[in-house]
Structure 1
Amino acid sequence: MLKFLALDRFTILIFVMVLLATFLPVSGQAADIFGILTIIAIAILFFLHGAKLSREAVIQGIKHWKLHVLVFTFTFALFPILGLLAKPVLVPMLRQELYWGFLFMCCLPSTVQSSIAFTSVAKGNVASAVCSASFSNIIGMFITPILVSLFIFGQAQNDYDATSSILNILLLLLVPFILGQILRPYVFPKMQKIPSIVKAFDQGSILMVVYGAFSSAVVAGLWHEVDGNTLFLLILVCSILLTIVMLLAHYVPKWLGFNVPDQKAIFFCASKKTLASGVPMAQVLFIGQPLGMIVLPIMIFHQIQLMVCGIIANYWANRTSSEPLE
């Protein structure tokens, strides 16, 4: 049942962190120290991401620019447009802070690991998926703060400084990523010898951010503001958004004449949003805001997309690579 629902150990641990923050939230001076440790862990996480990215895969995949343009259009144009169009309905339904989180999720880049993994399982164009998903995260360090400044803080906070937020994200995420790329010849061979430790650190840093974010939210009264009905509505809204995007990501590449392996890569890269980069970005962009409510939509959307993509990838895996997609 867990395999069918795509509930791996990491997903279960995310829910455990939410429960732990609900009953044993970190607060006061301990929260400040935990926050510093989390920032250090995030920087190391993106250093490792930089060291893992193969330059050969990037060179091979970057030539397929039409595929990347379509994926970026879905990621940074279609998603935000749908989020903005839903505002008149979602603000009364979910309230302002949760809608901010929903719209922030729409402005995030695609996932890296799961986009590549699902494309591989479905026998799609893995090289292009590696390039597209990785570039989406790199470009997202610039585009996401700009979109947030335009669509969220442009109306809510006149003193919001998008330039400062971009610089903070570059220092926290991009600089370690570039250092990882530079030192890849020395670091990556060592990472291959200790994959379990690297994976534990990769996931552990995200769990730290989730625990810290929800701890501060619980202390501020998160679960008094988000009841069961609101949570159900948020799950429903995320499911509807994913359905719309997936239908378009399935049929648009067909209409544009992409071959079947490319269609699969586009489908998995264009329909997902990153939790791994999204939560650290939220920590930088939404200083002083209810961070737990901001990251709640991406956590829910992340799990829904994993479950749906897992089922679809396994279904496509049983078909030949050249057989037309249904």
Structure 2
Amino acid sequence: MANKIAQLSGRLGFDWFILSIIGVIILASQYPGPGIAEGPFSISWLANIGVSLIFFFYGLKLNRNKLVAGLSNWRLHILVQAGTFILFPLLLLVLKPLLNSGETQVLWLGSFFLAALPSTVSSSVVMVSIAHGNIPGAIFNASISSLMGIFITPAWMALATGGDHDHIDMSDVVKKLLFQILLPVVVGLLLNPTRLGKLAEKYNKQLKYFDQLTILAIVYTAFSDSFDQHMFSTLDITELFLLGACLLGLFFVAYFLIGSIARLLHFNREDAITATFCGSKKSLIHGTVMAKVIFMGSPLMGILLLPIMLYHALQLIAVSIIAQGMARKYKTGS
């Protein structure tokens, strides 16, 4: 029975990481003290170091030759990046007059932050592989999306808030962006051809665990601050379910719009799968670490992270089901 439950949870995307995120949120609600502590070797201090290391390891794993070789399928790349960085933000801007007021303002800002994020790398490639899509195209687009997001996400947030918002000081964001995120990526990318790049590829699984542990630390500190400041006192379970439903609707709107454009452009089956999967997914890793840079310790950061965490779980469930259905059709030749 336990094995069946574990298998079902795995198919729906509820792995140990998602369950751990739920766990640290509960922990933060009961014991916020360690999460709000400051100083050397505090959880917040370690999380800041972890952010730079995540992007250093990301650059270290990027193979420049493979990226250059993947440039040829330009129609696929344009559609994926347009879906990721243009379609999503425009969908949220349409909703701004309805949601950007009162108690819903913070949730809209968090949802727009989600919309401005790059696509996720690992799960996009895995799901494209399951559905028998264009795997090299998925790797290329997810990698390029992550690099572009370093610049595009903060730019969208500045545009959405007019560059002057209670939670965003763009001058500090730019400095942190350069030294905490961009510089580590560049250093890692330059070191990719060396032995360090080979070691990063060899121990990719272990580095993924490091990424996830850093995210858990960031989530814990963010929610500890929010709970300590009683930021969730105005939110109830109904609003959370409504937010989840809206985010699931956002996923399917983006998924079907990108799929429709792929059909209009006469993409083959493999490219269409890659376009819809990569273009409709958002990166929890980049969302969490970039939130720490962009929102810089705001007590609202916990609430601002809610949309990306909900979307992450929902997109895994939805895409897992879709990918498995496509795999069955591929095997039967239908």
TM-score when normalising by structure 2: 0.89
Say which SS state the counterpart of residue 2 (structure 1) adopts: helix
Cross-structure match for 1:21: 28
In structure 1, runs of 5+ residues without a counterpart are none
2:158 paired with 1:149: yes
Deviation of 1:289 (Å): 5.2
TM-score when normalising by structure 1: 0.91
2:269 paired with 1:260: yes
Matched letter for residue 236 of structure 1: A
**TM alignment of 1:22-171, pairs within 5 A:** 22-26=29-33, 30-32=37-39, 33-91=42-100, 95-154=104-163, 156=165, 162=170, 164-171=172-179
1:181 to 180, 189, 199: 189
Deviation of 1:111 (Å): 0.9
Cross-structure match for 1:247: 256
In structure 2, runs of 5+ residues without a counterpart are 1-7
Matched letter for residue 139 of structure 1: M
Contact residue 94 and residue 233 of structure 1 kept, 8 A: no
CA-to-partner distance for each residue in 1:181-208, whole Å, 9 max, x for gaps?
2222312333455455323212111111
**TM alignment of 1:191-270, pairs within 5 A:** 191-270=200-279
Distance 2:36 2:150 in 1: 30
Cross-structure match for 1:304: 314
Contact residue 225 and residue 299 of structure 2 kept, 8 A: no
Deviation of 1:99 (Å): 1.2
Distance 1:183 1:154 in 2: 35
Contact residue 153 and residue 160 of structure 1 kept, 8 A: no
Which moves more between the two structures, 205-214 or 86-95? 86-95
Say which SS state the counterpart of residue 257 (structure 1) adopts: coil
Cross-structure match for 2:17: 10
Say which SS state the counterpart of residue 131 (structure 1) adopts: helix
Distance 2:310 2:79 in 1: 25
Cross-structure match for 2:304: 294
Contact residue 231 and residue 299 of structure 2 kept, 8 A: no
Contact residue 251 and residue 315 of structure 2 kept, 8 A: yes
Say which SS state the counterpart of residue 248 (structure 1) adopts: helix
Matched letter for residue 30 of structure 1: A
The size of the alignment, in residue pairs, is 323
